[in-house]
A and B are shown apart, each in its own frame.
Chain A
Amino acid sequence: MSFADKHRTYIRSTRKGRDFGFNVKTMAKLAPLLAFLYEDWWHVDLQGLKHLPKKGPALIVANAGGVLPWAGLMMLHALIHDDQPRRLTILTDLDWIEDERLYSTAREIGLMSWSADNAKRLFAEDETVVVFPEGIQGAVKPFGERYRPRAFDWTILMPAVEAHVPIIPLATIGPEESFPVGMNIDWLAKLLSLPAFPVTAAFPWLPFPANVFSLPVHWKMRLMKPCDYKKPASREEVEEICKTLALFAEGEVQAELNRLLRTRVKPLF
């Protein structure tokens, strides 16, 4: 069965409103790869999709890890196969991608550069958005610091708080062990104008397809209850709410990570 036959409702849902550069054909091409990673390679165990609102916009805040926003890509797959399928936009840093083809592919499956304007436009169109408020430093933190999120950037929540969008924390264990980062070389990153230069067991030693190899760790992802906050009346209030919300969301994610790690029986295979 082709992608078009299997995911009729999904495709219909992506056709509504503005497309923001999304292209369902590219998605259909990449879907088997995502399915392989989700189901066979990482055995992702995702729970809590019921916490996503049935309609209207939503912001998922997740802990970063594993260099690239893999957790977001896994959410893409999960939301295609959900009972109520929908499109997901991953707001992250794309400016470092020089390669034209790679950039357009990224845009076509739903990645977007982070900016307050983009976020506002997406929320206005009732889109579901995922962000990684730790930033790139969180994604390349060394293996010894795994599953200890860096401080969440509260400014990233501002567009969502202004529009009173539900904020849903997402905790993921797995990516940081799938791609164990030894260290991050700052000066080399600067030299190559990359956001970070992580050194892993395979990167940068092996040639291209081999250096993105990941360990088949079993992942667990948990979406949590939306954080409740009151609708802000003024600009000052927005900032205040964002600061407390960022702290709270970070704590929620960290506490859930602790719980997941404690109950995990075996990480590999």
Chain B
Amino acid sequence: MTERSLTFTLNGQKHEAKADPRIHLGDFLRHSLGLTGTHIGCEHGVCGACTVIVDGVPVRSCLMLAVQIDGCIVETVESLGKPGNLSPLQHAFAANHGLQCGFCTPGMLMTLEAFLRATPTPTEDDVRIAISGNICRCTGYQGIVQAALDTAAAKANPT
């Protein structure tokens, strides 16, 4: 198949790349660009592990073709904090044991990152509904929910 040329902004950097039209965004990020932080869990749009932010909105990167990001702003888990300098949300995940195996974690983080920008003071129910499209098999969700609430509270009431 003929590859298409794409121009997009990825994690704050302008990028030009070529993509096979059949490749979905998740595989493109992982295997063409080497950004393996985004994980592929079901490839039918239900588990949410592959969630990234495109133009400010969380999307399932397994349900979006790579060629569709031409002209878009894409954010992945690699845009958040680094191991020595975690973002507030990442830090809250660690503090609340919001991850175990870590496989669903990048999708959870990106879903909540987009959600908290739009909903800075959520209730517990709001958070549970926000991540109701992300499956975690390890944690029982409680630590994840608390991490989101703690992050929102810290931002609303900086000490």
Pair from one complex? no
B interface list, Cβ under 8 A from A: none
